[in-house]
Amino acid sequence: MSLRELKKQQTRERIADTAWRLFAERGFERVTVVEVARAAQVSEATVFNYFPAKEDLFFSRLEAFGEHLVEAVRTRPPGESALSAFRRRLLRSEGLPARVEAGDADALAQLRTVNRLIADSPALQAREQQAHAACVDALTAALAGGITARVAASALFGVHRALVDHVRHRMLTDVAPATLATEVRELATEAFALLENGMHDYGDSTGAAPSVHRSSH
């Protein structure tokens, strides 16, 4: 990495860190981009150069997980179904959730803050819905498009959405991290079991066209 690239990365991180601190202290809706720029000691134009929208300041570190889920399906080995690849990546314990499960108090506070801020902000909730829709589009494309791919992608990311909603609701209580981790895994198991019958071999990369079951009337 060149010195110029390093400085740009450091500036981006300083702006994001500053924004997160202000959002945590006052709430997303009560902080302006001008205030973020002033606190980060950069111009408002510089903030927008790195983050085109105010919501990007909040979600810049959170939206990558959806991309990882799509990538897990896109790069799954031959013989592995789309459902299996998605489930494998979704349940992998790493990042902030893993730190929370391990008892990291700072990570727990951060996760509570993230969920509180989203719960209190219609703008962040709308952006989250947009990100969800974009992930469904990306997964549909990774599964070669078409109505069956769209249904499969919507179902898989529906599980992810349901788990996010459960975590958000529970994070706003005093639930113990270990208890929440157990709940999430149990709920994920139930949800994927519901999809298993219809999608167990869909997109298994063997070259066979997915079967579509129709009931006779």
pLDDT in tens, 130-150: 999 999 999 999 998 889 999
**Whether the predicted pLDDT of 157 surpasses 50:** yes
pLDDT digits (tens, 9 = 90+) for 101-122: 777 788 888 888 999 999 999 9
Lowest mean pLDDT among 41-50, 131-140, 189-198: 189-198
What is the Cα Rg of the chain in Å?
Answer: 20
pTM: 0.79
**Whether the predicted pLDDT of 38 surpasses 70:** yes
CB atoms within 10 A of CB 45: 8
Tokens of 176: 């113990």
Helices and strands in the chain: count of H runs, count of E runs:
11, 0
Closest CA to 163 of 89, 105, 61: 89
Higher pLDDT pick, 175 / 153: 153
Could you tell me the domains of the chain? 3-55 (1.10.10.60), 64-199 (1.10.357)
**Whether the predicted pLDDT of 91 surpasses 90:** no
Closest CA to 180 of 96, 119, 58: 96
Rounded to whole angstroms, the Cα distance separating 114 from 63 reads 13
Band of pLDDT at residue 203, cut at 50, 70 and 90: low
Higher pLDDT pick, 92 / 66: 66
**Whether the predicted pLDDT of 179 surpasses 90:** no
